[in-house]
Chain A
Amino acid sequence: MKPNLRKALIFISLVLFTGITFTALFVAIPHTERVFKNSRFDLNLKEDEYWKKSYIVELKIKQDDKASKQEKIDRTKNVIYKRLSNYGVEKIDIGDFKKKEEKKDGDYIYHYLRVTVETTKDQSSVEQLVTNRNYIRLMTQKEDIDFNSSENQYAYILPTSYDPTSFTRYYFRNVYVAKLKNNQGEDSYFAIFKTWPHKTKEFNKFLEKNKGKYVGIKTDTFVTPFSVPLTTSNSTVFAIPVANDEDSAEVVSLLFNSGVIPVEITKDSEVDHKPDIVKVDYNQVLLSSIAAALAVLVLMFIRKKESRNEVWEFAVAGVIVFAYSVAAIKIMNLPVDLFLITLEGFITLIMIKALTFNKNIRLIMTAGLLCVLITLNYLSAGYIREISRDLGLLLLLSNIAVLIAEVYINNMKKIILK
């Protein structure tokens, strides 16, 4: 008998695939990590990392701006929300706050905001985003101040050592935070200030006037000096060092680029809260998924509207998606919200069903869903952004799984029914 290489290869591939899928399934189901003493691959749940806090911030509005008070308050709320949502804070509540004892000052009106956040993000970064105004103003060195004097070694960062100029954040189109080499040859993050095209000429004149001198960027309480080169041109890069690590650089970028808070802002107080996160048990989630999948399978078998082949393909595709996605999450130790995974599981089940039983229009369905999910990902915030990103990946995995399941069932049938 002549050996059939193609059949042998198919047989080996089927055995290998079955083996790998069973291993992935074994990794994916709960409690299996207890079997191994040396390796841990339990789900890394985010629910214990959540913290919730309310910040009361004080807005100091000039009496002269009384007429535009509400507009300034609204702009402040917008900037804080934009900063937090772009940083990836999961839940944000911003509202007005009435203090029992109202502060009175002839020149200023005081208004309070309560910003409540519930997130797993770094606490100090979130606090910076809520409480820092980060108002930029360019300063020039005072004639009588010597930065090299031993009497005041910190003169170069003190606002009192500089004279203010009219250049503020409004002169710059955006502030690009990029990783560059510093004077010591080490990687550091720099803020590169890009002017509006119609302001460039004026800004270049300013640099030309101050060439060889120190100018500074004042942000809230301190100044970062910048030594203007002796020869300046239109391509002179105005960049100041802002951070040493990526996370701080992201925060700085958000502070610079989320809009300008129009009033002075300070933290008044903060209150810790118990996070109200939906706690779901992984065993429950798995039971729910199995119950849902079984219910759908039983219905299909009873109705007999779909072919047996397709029903088996649906079952195998479901197992593939579940096993490989959860095993990947466990092995890569990715932090996850279990209640989000539950909802994603529910939607993915319906997506697999739609893809399996509408093979002719699979491409159109995938394209449509993918476009909608990408739009949702780019234009939404918080959990919706997370869900749309995950569902996009699960949709692609479901497509691959449905294709594999089709080939797998056809070949298995040939081998088993031979």
Chain B
Amino acid sequence: MNSLLIALKIDTTYQIYSFAALVIGLILVSTLLVHFITKETKLTLLALASNLIFFIFATAIIAAGGKFLNSELSSQLNLAYWLAYIFNVVNVATLTGLFYLHKHKKKFDPDHVTREHFNSTLNLFVIVIIAGCAFAVFMPTSIIMVIAYVITMTIISIWSNHFIARKVLVDQRSK
């Protein structure tokens, strides 16, 4: 707990409440938006699970390194935490969009949606790594740390998104 507070640069109870409000706010906004667009409970639950998995993993990774971080590094990682979250949102938004698009077609095939999402996920994964490496070459170490953390978290979150999408949308229907 202590290393988590150090890593997230939390000194006061006000910051703990603000952080909790931000996380709850983001989970609510993104989940409700998915529900509003698709009206599909499974996809709404998927968005909720994606958010929860992201916050659990991202916080766990940052907390694991808490003891080794100085003030400067923890402030950089704090930034990376939210940048990685934005990539997760891009990925979930792609899945939601594809689902919405295919839902109105005559032959709705969730397998096709997840395959297309997989393609997009793979694309995002490759682009983030290539663009990240290209950016990192000319940057100081602290920015490289941010980019490395963003890449790691993006990989974990987008792969888990795809995994849940397959489980929830395809496997359930085939049963």
Name A's B-contacting residues (CB within 8 A). 74, 77-78, 81-82, 91-95, 276, 278-280, 284-285, 287-289, 291-296, 299, 305, 339, 342-343, 345-347, 349-351, 353-354, 357-358, 360-361, 364-365, 367-369, 371-373, 375-376, 379-381, 383-384, 387-388, 391
Alpha-carbon distance A347/B79, docked complex (angstroms): 12
The answer, yes or no, to whether B131 is at the interface (CB within 8 Å) is yes
The answer, yes or no, to whether B96 is at the interface (CB within 8 Å) is yes
- Min CB gap A92→B, angstroms: 8
A-B CB pair tally, cutoff 8 Å:
164
Q: What are the residues of chain B within 8 A of A372 when measuring CB–CB?
A: 26, 29-30, 85-86, 89
25 residue pairs of the A-B complex, CB under 8 angstroms, read A77-B13, A78-B13, A279-B140, A285-B138, A289-B135, A291-B134, A291-B135, A292-B130, A294-B134, A345-B135, A346-B132, A350-B87, A354-B94, A361-B93, A361-B96, A364-B96, A365-B90, A365-B97, A367-B37, A368-B93, A369-B89, A381-B18, A383-B75, A388-B82, A391-B86
Given A93-B11, A375-B22, the answer on whether A357 and B90 have CB atoms closer than 8 Å is no
Extra 19 A-B pairs, beta carbons < 8 Å, given A343-B146, A380-B18: A74-B13, A81-B11, A81-B12, A280-B143, A292-B131, A343-B143, A346-B132, A350-B90, A354-B90, A361-B93, A367-B33, A368-B33, A371-B30, A375-B22, A375-B26, A376-B22, A380-B22, A384-B78, A384-B79
Alpha-carbon distance A347/B135, docked complex (angstroms): 11
The answer, yes or no, to whether B92 is at the interface (CB within 8 Å) is yes
Nearest CB to that of B32 among chain A residues? A371
Q: Interface readout for B79-111 with A: 1 if CB under 8 Å, 0 if not?
A: 100110111011011101110110000000000
Name B's A-contacting residues (CB within 8 A). 9, 11-15, 18, 21-22, 25-26, 29-30, 33-34, 37, 71-72, 75-76, 78-79, 82-83, 85-87, 89-90, 92-94, 96-98, 100-101, 120, 123-124, 126-128, 130-140, 142-143, 146-147, 150
Question: Are B22 and A369 interface neighbours, CB within 8 A?
Answer: no
Q: What are the residues of chain A within 8 A of B71 when measuring CB–CB?
A: 93, 276
Nearest CB to that of B140 among chain A residues? A278
Q: What are the residues of chain A within 8 A of B87 when measuring CB–CB?
A: 347, 350
Q: What are the residues of chain A within 8 A of B128 when measuring CB–CB?
A: 350
Alpha-carbon distance A357/B133, docked complex (angstroms): 22
Q: What are the residues of chain B within 8 A of A383 when measuring CB–CB?
A: 75, 79
Q: What are the residues of chain A within 8 A of B146 when measuring CB–CB?
A: 343
Nearest CB to that of B95 among chain A residues? A361
Contact of B134 among A280, A292, A361, A387 (CB under 8 A): A292
Q: What are the residues of chain B within 8 A of A339 when measuring CB–CB?
A: 143
Given A81-B12, A365-B94, A369-B93, the answer on whether A288 and B135 have CB atoms closer than 8 Å is yes
Question: Are A91 and B90 interface neighbours, CB within 8 A?
Answer: no
- Min CB gap B132→A, angstroms: 7
Question: Are A342 and B135 interface neighbours, CB within 8 A?
Answer: yes
Given A81-B12, A347-B83, A364-B96, the answer on whether A342 and B139 have CB atoms closer than 8 Å is yes
Q: What are the residues of chain A within 8 A of B92 when measuring CB–CB?
A: 368
Q: What are the residues of chain B within 8 A of A358 when measuring CB–CB?
A: 94, 97, 120
Q: What are the residues of chain A within 8 A of B14 when measuring CB–CB?
A: 77-78, 81-82
Q: What are the residues of chain B within 8 A of A95 when measuring CB–CB?
A: 11
Given A91-B75, A342-B143, A364-B97, the answer on whether A299 and B126 have CB atoms closer than 8 Å is yes
Question: Are A360 and B101 interface neighbours, CB within 8 A?
Answer: yes
Q: What are the residues of chain B within 8 A of A288 when measuring CB–CB?
A: 134-139
Nearest CB to that of B90 among chain A residues? A354
Best-surrounded residue of B14, B101, B147 (most CB of chain A within 10 A): B14
Question: Are B90 and A351 interface neighbours, CB within 8 A?
Answer: yes
Given A292-B134, A368-B89, A379-B25, the answer on whether A93 and B139 have CB atoms closer than 8 Å is no
Question: Are A368 and B30 interface neighbours, CB within 8 A?
Answer: yes
Question: Are A379 and B30 interface neighbours, CB within 8 A?
Answer: no
Q: What are the residues of chain B within 8 A of A81 when measuring CB–CB?
A: 11-12, 14-15
Contact of B29 among A353, A375, A388 (CB under 8 A): A375
- Min CB gap B81→A, angstroms: 9
Q: What are the residues of chain B within 8 A of A93 when measuring CB–CB?
A: 9, 11, 71
- Min CB gap A307→B, angstroms: 14
Alpha-carbon distance A379/B17, docked complex (angstroms): 10
Q: What are the residues of chain A within 8 A of B142 when measuring CB–CB?
A: 278
Q: What are the residues of chain B within 8 A of A365 when measuring CB–CB?
A: 90, 93-94, 97
